[in-house]
Amino acid sequence: MAAMARSILDVRGVTLAFGGVKALNDVSFSVQEGSITSVIGPNGAGKTSVFNTISGFYKPASGDILFCDQSLAGIKPPRRAALGMARSFQNIALFRGMSVLDNIKLGRHCHLKTGPLSALFYTRAARREEEALRQEIEERIIDFLEIDHIRKAPVASLSYGLQKRVELARALAMKPKILLLDEPVAGMNREETEDMARFILEVRREWGVTILMVEHDMGMVMDLSDHVIVLNFGQVIADGKPADVQANPEVIKAYLGSGDVMALRARYKDAAIARARSAA
């Protein structure tokens, strides 16, 4: 019997409240190392709250989060990044006046050994570290994401889809063990969505990075994911393989207000047709 993959991320009984409102209520799930795991749910279900809690931007009222068997309680976001946790954002968070290359290089800041003084005076050690970083980014990340032709361009001049790709590049520059993608294809046309889906699969296959993804594109979620977690009103209502989740009556009720499996499948199909028409 093959050995089971170990869990790289464990969310254990996490509750998050804003005033008297519970955004998350006793949420628990695990992400297996090397997997693509998706978190889905209707608007307001708590998906981004989960990401912000895992990243350290929100402090849970109770519960714990373990990353590589280490509790993240009290660990600030920069330290979590240094431990191997990188993320993209629902709204693009790039420095628009800087070049593509400089934006990507910023992703490595949590691993740089050069101190502020050495960087200020641009010492020999600082130059060597920057040259090695630039070489790695240009030869591996930029080439991998097929953005060599825009590496010197200011981010503000790029299309939305390319900006999303640059944000992924910056996250990869952080040398992540797990990559948290918050709606990676939101607002993209069909061609851009297919490109991003291909890159996500290749990041897992070629880089060995575990991926935790929040996404509304159900077709992509079902095609790419090994595991799907469904949230509704801040609670986990389903947790399993894509086919099992898709047929779960509670999931269908959360999305459609009914228990009609065929209606949910028809909705997936209609969404795919709409994407194809918009790209035509």
CATH of 1-84+176-241, one of 3.40.109.10, 3.60.15.10, 3.40.50.300, 3.40.50.2300: 3.40.50.300
Work out the average pLDDT over 250-269.
63
Round to whole Å and give the CA distance between 265 and 263.
5
Q: Is the pLDDT of residue 156 over 70?
A: yes
Q: What does the pLDDT read at residue 151?
A: 85
pLDDT in tens, 50-81: 999 999 999 999 999 999 999 999 999 989 99
pLDDT in tens, 172-185: 988 899 999 999 99
Which tokens in the block code for residue 191?
A: 């061609």
Band of residue 120 on the pLDDT scale cut at 50, 70, 90: very low
Integer CA distances (angstroms), 83 to 6, 69, 78, 118, 176, in order: 17, 12, 9, 24, 8
Q: Is the pLDDT of residue 18 over 60?
A: yes
- Domain limits, the chain: 1-84+176-241, 94-175
Q: Give, to the nearest 10 degrees, the angle between helix 190-207 and helix 261-279.
A: 110
Q: What does the pLDDT read at residue 216?
A: 86
